[in-house]
């Protein structure tokens, strides 16, 4: 397949996302299994770079840039899985992550200013319960959202997400209102304090890699292939005997699990959770991160997250710190307007332009 | 659904509501009816804003997530015009016109070039809403801007049975909402442009084939839809207040109104607005910290039984 064809197929994919109906015949290619495909040099280089990152970076870079990008990337990965492979764009992924974060704070230990809502369960039980409940919530949101298609889904998931935000804001008996929960700390395990920048970085790196490989595996597994078939042509898959709704809800559950893990890591990273953590801007930021990187490969959200965090951290040097939203909004607009496949799409386009016709794009 | 199921679920929905109404009237009739009026007047505002949203969505399949930003923009413009001139009606007109102009610009400069790419259009509106919101925060600041009602609508309306007195301005919103609904209905059903818009909702390609300038129809609709958001903003600047964050609130309201009522239908928007407005105010009055839960339950119930909204039809 030539690069131009590939791009056309991807663009058609975006159109398909939108209309819920295929424009062209589905162009699903099943590549060799992820673990069967050879490990290229770039994989080794990137992995080595990530593993060695804390050795030459300052703790600030390790923690603020490294850990934060990876944790945000993990949450955005759940959206990439849903949107890129399931054809369903959900804006409620940060809500699922937020539910996990809130549950860690409520069930486990935290310190809020004047109330003591936290139940003080052992951390492993709180985290386990948080991940399970948040995954269930993700599946429930999916069950609601898959009743409609395409563009409606964005509206419904956004409505659910914003409703949860207002619930957290208004409710004091469970969610502690505007203040939320402070000092939600990563635990001390094996005598190591996992909130230490370097250790925390490796913790997040481990789970990000796990999430990445999990998605990589899943999209070549029968479930993932069926899901992509449903994305391309739900009616045909239905005729083939696949339960379309069940696959879609299951995809939401999987995405919920990934987002929940990301949410736990995020609450440990921030050390606190407030309604703002699940506010509209964060719901949308997850979409921005996923789209910025590109929805067509599970590495996309991590690239998007790195760019996002770098912009967030260093926008202060470019222009006023307060104007971060303007910068990120403009970047997002530019990407959506000029390169709908995100930075990965931009990279692919550049590669095509400057590569000799010999290789082409695979 | 079988007949039994219909009766069962109907009863399951109606019975608790009836119990609540009887209890509410018996317990504190004044509070109950004031809340009802508050709910209906809030619904009126929701309807004005959401009807613009649903109009644009119905014709162009464009989910304009910058609708809330247009609402806020209209509110600010109205506030400053009212401050300068001292009159309310010019403020309303200015709010409508500025928002309509921005909407027109969005359609002509951007959305015209991505016809049929729904998801991309939606993402562009998300980007635009972030940029517009931040520009407004930059230039106007985060302080609360609240307009006072014009003199002829200021003060309370006295001597109403049961509730004794009620704000004149809020009371006036009720006929205003109805008037706008009727005007919109007349416009869509009795004028030539309205006919074209309805034809476009049903079949865009066929409308273009009959020689109608579809781009012009689209631009008009987008301008009216955006203008309604701005118009609602000026009204909201008095009834609520203008502050960053309100855009999200009204966007959420618009979303829920059209999801509950049925997307692309103006009558559905009216129905959804009444359901949402009344549920929200009763929630705030009777169970303040859980009021948004009622909204959510309504959303879930509607999606469970009528996935396309109460009056929605298959796309």
Cβ(A112)–Cβ(A120) below 8 Å: no
Rounded distance between C-alpha atoms, residue A270 and residue A297, angstroms: 28
Q: Which residues of A touch B135 (CB under 8 A)?
A: 326
Between A18, A162, A167, which is nearest B119 by CB?
A: A18
In chain A, the largest separation of any two C-alpha atoms, in whole Å, equals: 68
**Are A280 and B296 inside 8 Å of each other by CB?**
no
pLDDT at B244: 82
Chain B CB contacts of A345 under 8 Å are: none
pLDDT digits over A145-181, tens only?
Answer: 887 766 778 888 888 888 888 888 887 777 777 777 8
CA B299/CA B274 separation, integer angstroms:
14
Q: Would the CB atoms of B248 and A14 count as touching at under 8 Å?
A: no
Residues 277-296 of A with CB under 8 A from B: 280-281, 284, 287-288, 291
Residues in chain B with pLDDT < 70?
1, 162, 313-315
Domain range enclosing A273? 60-279
Q: For residue A116, what pLDDT is reported? A: 67
Distance from the Cα of A158 to chain B's closest Cα (Å) equals: 8
Assess if residue A45 is contained within a domain.
Answer: no
| ipTM of the complex as predicted | 0.76
Across the interface, do B127 and A332 touch by the CB < 8 Å criterion? yes
pTM here is 0.80
CA dihedral B260, B263, B267, B272 (to 10 degrees): 20
A23 is a domain residue = no
Q: What is the pLDDT of residues B264-282, one digit of tens each?
A: 778 888 888 998 898 888 8
- Say if A180 falls within a structural domain: yes
Task: Give chain A positions within 8 Å (CB) of B304.
Answer: 144, 147
Query: What is the rounded CA–CA span in Å between residue A301 and residue A94?
Result: 14
Residue A332 contacts B where some CB pair is shorter than 8 Å: yes
Q: Do A171 and B290 touch (CB under 8 A)?
A: yes
Cβ of B63 under 8 Å from any chain A Cβ? yes
All residues of chain A having their beta carbon less than 8 Å from the beta carbon of residue B292 are 163, 166-167, 170
Residue A247 falls inside a structural domain: yes
Decide the pairing of beta strands A192-193 and A188-189: antiparallel
What integer pLDDT is reported at residue A254 of this predicted model?
93
Picking from A110, A269, A264, the residue whose alpha carbon sits closest to that of residue A184 is A110
**Distance to chain A for B56, nearest Cα, Å:** 14
Residue with tokens 């413009």: B77
Tokens 């595996």 locate to A217
Cα dihedral A332, A333, A338, A339 in deg (nearest 10): 30
Are A284 and A329 within 8 A, CB to CB?
Answer: no
Tell me what the mean pLDDT of segment A12-31 comes to: 45
Long-range pairs, A192-196, Cβ under 8 A, ≥24:
A194/A268, A195/A268, A195/A271
| A42 lies in some domain | no
CB contacts, 8 Å: B303 with chain A: 144, 147-148, 156
Q: Supply the pLDDT for residue A134.
A: 92
Check if B56 contacts A (Cβ < 8 Å): no
pLDDT in tens, A296-313: 888 888 888 988 888 888
Query: CB distance A155–B258 less than 8 Å?
Result: yes
How many domains in chain A?
Answer: 1
pLDDT at A331: 84
Q: Answer yes or no: is pLDDT of A216 > 90.
A: no
Contact A150 B118 (CB under 8 A): yes
Give the pLDDT confidence of A77-112 residue by residue, as tens digits.
999 998 888 888 888 899 999 999 888 888 877 765
Q: Kindly determine whether residue B116 and residue A18, on different chains, have CB atoms separated by under 8 Å.
A: yes
d(CA B221, CA B104): 9
Distance from CA of A120 to the nearest CA of B (A): 24
Strand A188-189 with B164-167, pairing: unpaired
Between positions 117 and 136 of B, the ones with CB within 8 A of A are 117-120, 122-124, 126-128, 130-131, 133-135
Residue-by-residue DSSP string for A251-293: HHHHHHHHHHHHHHHHHHHHS-B-GGGGSHHHHHHHHHHHHHH
According to DSSP H, which parts of A108-221 are helical? Answer: 123-145, 151-170, 197-218
Query: Residues near B208 by Cβ (< 8 Å), separated by ≥ 6?
Result: B214
Shortest CB distance from A162 goes to which of B110, B252, B289? Answer: B252
A205 CA: distance to closest CA in chain B (Å): 30
B216 touches chain A (CB under 8 A): no
Smallest CA-to-CA distance from A284 within B127, B63, B256 is with B127
Report if residue A356 sits inside a domain. no
- Are the CB atoms for A183 and B304 separated by under 8 Å? no
Q: Which of B117, B122, B292 minimises the CB distance to A15? A: B117
DSSP state letters, B229-295: HHHHHHHHHHHS-B-TTHHHHHHHHHHHHHHHH-TT-HHHHHHHHHHHHHHHHHHHHH-GGGHHHHH
Position A298 in a domain: no
Which residues make Cβ contacts (< 8 Å) with residue B43, sequence separation at least 6?
B177, B273, B274, B276, B277, B278
CA distance A36 to A157: 36
Mean pLDDT of A183-208: 78
**Domain annotation covers residue A358:** no
Smallest CA–CA distance, residue B13 to chain A, in Å, is: 19
Residue A39 C-alpha, separation from nearest chain B C-alpha, in angstroms:
34
**B263-283 burial code (b ≥16 CB/10 A, e <16):** bbbbbbbbbbbbbbbbbbbbb
- Whether B307 sits inside 8 A of A147 (CB atoms) is yes
From B287's Cα to the closest Cα of chain A, the distance in A is 10
> Per the CB < 8 Å rule, is B119 touching A325?
no
The pLDDT mean for chain A works out to: 79
Please report the pLDDT score of residue A1 as a whole number: 43
CB B131 within 8 A of CB A330: yes
Q: Which of the residue ranges A55-59, A219-223, B242-246 has the most confident prediction, judged by mean pLDDT?
A: A219-223
pLDDT at B58: 75
Positive or negative, the Cα torsion across A181, A187, A188, A194? negative
Residue with tokens 């109608």: B212
């Amino acid at each position: 397949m030539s690069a131009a064809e590939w791009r056309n197929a991807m663009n058609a994919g975006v159109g398909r996302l939108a209309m819920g109906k295929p424009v062209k015949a589905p162009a699903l290619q099943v590549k060799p299994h992820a673990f069967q495909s050879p490990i290229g040099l770039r994989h080794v280089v990137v992995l080595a770079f990530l593993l060695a990152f804390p050795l030459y970076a300052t703790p600030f870079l390790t923690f603020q840039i490294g850990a934060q990008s990876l944790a945000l990337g993990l949450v955005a990965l759940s959206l990439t899985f849903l949107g890129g492979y399931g054809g369903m764009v959900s804006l409620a992924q940060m809500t699922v992550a937020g539910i996990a974060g809130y549950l860690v704070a409520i069930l486990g230990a935290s310190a809020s200013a004047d109330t003591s809502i936290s139940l003080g369960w052992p951390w492993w039980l709180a985290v386990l319960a948080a991940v399970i409940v948040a995954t269930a919530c993700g599946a429930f949101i999916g069950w609601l959202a898959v009743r409609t298609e395409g563009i409606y889904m964005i509206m419904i998931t956004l409505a659910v997400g914003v409703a949860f935000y207002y619930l957290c804001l208004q409710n004091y008996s469970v969610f502690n209102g505007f203040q939320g929960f402070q000092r939600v700390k990563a635990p001390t395990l094996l005598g190591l304090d996992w909130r230490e920048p370097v250790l925390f970085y490796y913790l997040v790196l481990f789970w990000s890699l796990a999430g990445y490989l999990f998605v990589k595996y899943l999209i070549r597994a029968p479930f993932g292939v069926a899901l992509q078939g449903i994305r391309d042509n739900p009616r045909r898959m239905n005729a083939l005997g696949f339960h379309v709704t069940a696959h879609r809800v299951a995809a939401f559950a999987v995405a919920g699990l990934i987002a929940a893990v990301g949410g736990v890591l995020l609450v440990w990273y921030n050390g606190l959770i407030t309604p703002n953590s699940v506010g509209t801007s964060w719901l949308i930021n997850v979409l921005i991160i996923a789209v910025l990187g590109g929805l067509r490969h599970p590495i996309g959200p991590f690239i998007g997250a790195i760019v996002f965090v770098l912009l967030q951290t260093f926008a202060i040097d470019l222009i006023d710190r307060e104007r971060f939203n303007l910068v990120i909004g403009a970047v997002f607009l530019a990407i959506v307007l000029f390169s709908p496949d995100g930075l990965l799409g931009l990279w692919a386009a550049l590669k095509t332009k400057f590569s000799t016709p010999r290789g082409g794009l695979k | 659904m079988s007949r039994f199921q219909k009766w069962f679920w109907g009863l399951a929905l109606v019975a608790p509501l009836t119990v609540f109404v009887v209890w509410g009237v018996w317990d504190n009739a004044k509070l109950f009816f004031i809340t009802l009026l508050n709910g209906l007047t809030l619904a009126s505002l929701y309807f004005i804003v959401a009807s613009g949203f649903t109009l644009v969505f119905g014709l162009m399949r464009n989910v304009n997530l910058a609708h809330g930003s247009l609402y806020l923009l209209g509110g600010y413009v109205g506030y400053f015009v009212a401050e300068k001139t001292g009159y309310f009606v010019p403020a309303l007109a200015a709010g409508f016109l500025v928002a309509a102009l921005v909407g027109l610009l969005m359609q002509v400069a951007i959305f015209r070039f991505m016809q049929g790419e729904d998801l991309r259009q939606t993402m562009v509106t998300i980007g635009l809403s972030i940029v517009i919101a931040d520009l407004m925060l930059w230039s106007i600041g985060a302080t609360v801007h609240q307009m006072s009602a014009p003199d002829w609508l200021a003060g309370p309306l006295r001597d109403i049975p049961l509730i004794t007195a009620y704000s004149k301005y809020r009371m006036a919103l009720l006929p205003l909402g109805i008037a706008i609904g009727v005007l919109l209905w007349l416009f869509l059903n009795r004028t030539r442009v309205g006919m074209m818009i309805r034809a476009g909702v049903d079949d865009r390609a066929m409308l273009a084939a009959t020689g109608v300038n579809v781009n012009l129809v689209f631009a008009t609709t987008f301008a009216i839809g955006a203008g309604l958001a701005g118009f609602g903003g000026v009204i909201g600047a008095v009834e609520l207040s203008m502050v960053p964050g309100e855009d999200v609130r009204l966007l959420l309201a618009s979303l829920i109104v059209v999801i509950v009522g049925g997307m692309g239908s103006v009558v559905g928007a009216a129905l959804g607005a009444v359901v949402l407005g009344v549920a929200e105010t009763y929630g705030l009055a009777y169970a303040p910290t859980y009021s948004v839960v009622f909204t959510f339950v309504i959303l879930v119930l509607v999606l469970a039984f009528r996935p396309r909204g109460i009056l929605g039809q298959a796309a």
